[in-house]
Amino acid sequence: MRLLLAEDDRMIGDSVHQGLCQDGFVVDWVRDGLEAELALETIEYDGLLLDLGLPRKDGIAILKALRARGDTVPVLILTARDAVANRIEGLDQGADDYIVKPFDLDELTARIRAVLRRRSGRAQAIIQYGALMLDPSTHQAIFNSKPVALSRYEFALLEVLASRPGLVFSRDQLEQKLYGWGQETESNTVEVYIHKLRKKFGVGIIRNIHGVGYTMTKPA
Ligand code: CA
């Protein structure tokens, strides 16, 4: 899952960026409001972590513009303890949740997972797809009641596809979800991971829609 972190405080940004990457998220970090807008226009993020007090354009203005153009990306506001009015405004302007600084990184990732889960229409924490179960909090995969070892990218790819069965993702979209800015990618990495996943879970688990992309069909 790829997230945009808009935070100008270097220490907070650094620790959030590091913590989320360790937790398997792909995170792009911007330090001002205009950079955030540019990133949001170029890349389809799974979530936005938005500091309200940003240089050049503040978080509320970014949020308003985002919702005004119909962008439904989940937004989690990072806010100061005394900024109650800002939090309320943020929620009223379409933010999905907020967290008060200083916050615990584990709580932040739990809130992000909750927001992502609601957005994909799931109430339960575990992603279930037929005989396959994925736990986004531990990155464990169970298939036919047995644990299956997956690399970070294999899990990430499977999580994207299994969270939205029936939706077809192009190779570019999948690549965007696996890699952040500045990360080297080889041209056929998505195909390589799909090949590995099919070996582990059966050829039929991921369908190739010719000329369009990849999908996990809705289980009957
Ligand atoms: Ca700030």
* Boundary (domain end) residue, out of 119, 138, 165: 119
CATH of residue 209: 1.10.10.10
If asked whether residues 131 and 83 sit together in one domain, one would say no
Instruction: Flag whether 192 is in a domain.
Output: yes
Gap from CA of 216 to ligand 1 centroid (Å): 40
Q: Do 113 and 80 reside in the same domain of the chain?
A: yes
**What is the model's pLDDT at position 160?**
94
Cα angle: 161, vertex 164, 167; to 5 degrees: 85
Domain ranges, residue 179? 127-215
* Cβ proximity of 104 and 112 under 8 Å: no
**CA 79 – ligand 1 centroid, Å:** 8
How many distinct structural domains can be found in the chain?
2
- The pTM assigned to this predicted structure is 0.88
d(CA 220, CA 217): 9
CA 52 – ligand 1 centroid, Å: 6
151 and 180 together in one domain: yes
Interval between CA 134 and ligand 1 midpoint (Å): 35
Q: Tell me the CA–centroid distance for residue 50 and ligand 1, in Å.
A: 9
Q: Do 8 and 115 lie in a common domain?
A: yes
Burial class (CB in 10 A: 0-12, 13-18, 19+), 189: middle
Q: Among 119, 147, 179, which residue terminates a domain?
A: 119
pLDDT of the residue at 181: 85
- 113 plus 164 within the same structural domain: no
Task: Please indicate, yes or no, if residue 220 is contained in any of the structural domains.
Answer: no
Asked if 81 and 100 count as a contact pair (C-beta separation under 8 A), the reply is yes
- Tell me, what's the pLDDT at 156? 94
Taking the centre of ligand 1 as the mean of its atom positions, its distance from the CA of residue 59, in whole angstroms, is 9
**Ion ligand 1 contact residues with beta carbon within 5 A:** 8, 51, 53
Q: Which of 119, 151, 182 is the last residue of a domain?
A: 119
Q: Which tokens is 212 given?
A: 């369009």
Same domain, 155 and 198: yes
Domain shared by 149 and 91, yes or no: no
Question: Residue 10 to residues 6, 13, 32, 125, 188: CA-CA distances in angstroms?
Answer: 11, 5, 11, 32, 35
Q: Across the 220 residues of the chain, what is the mean pLDDT of every consecutive 10-residue run?
A: 96 96 94 97 95 95 96 94 88 96 95 92 90 94 96 94 94 91 80 96 94 89
Q: So what's the pLDDT on residue 56?
A: 97
For position 119, what pLDDT does the model report? 86
Q: Scanning the structure block, which residue is given the tokens 């298939």?
A: 143
Using the mean position of ligand 1's atoms as its centre, give its distance from the Cα of residue 177 in Å: 26
Nearest residue to 99 (alpha-carbon basis) of 89, 109, 64, 34: 109
Residues 27 and 100 in one domain: yes
Q: What is the pLDDT of residue 81?
A: 79
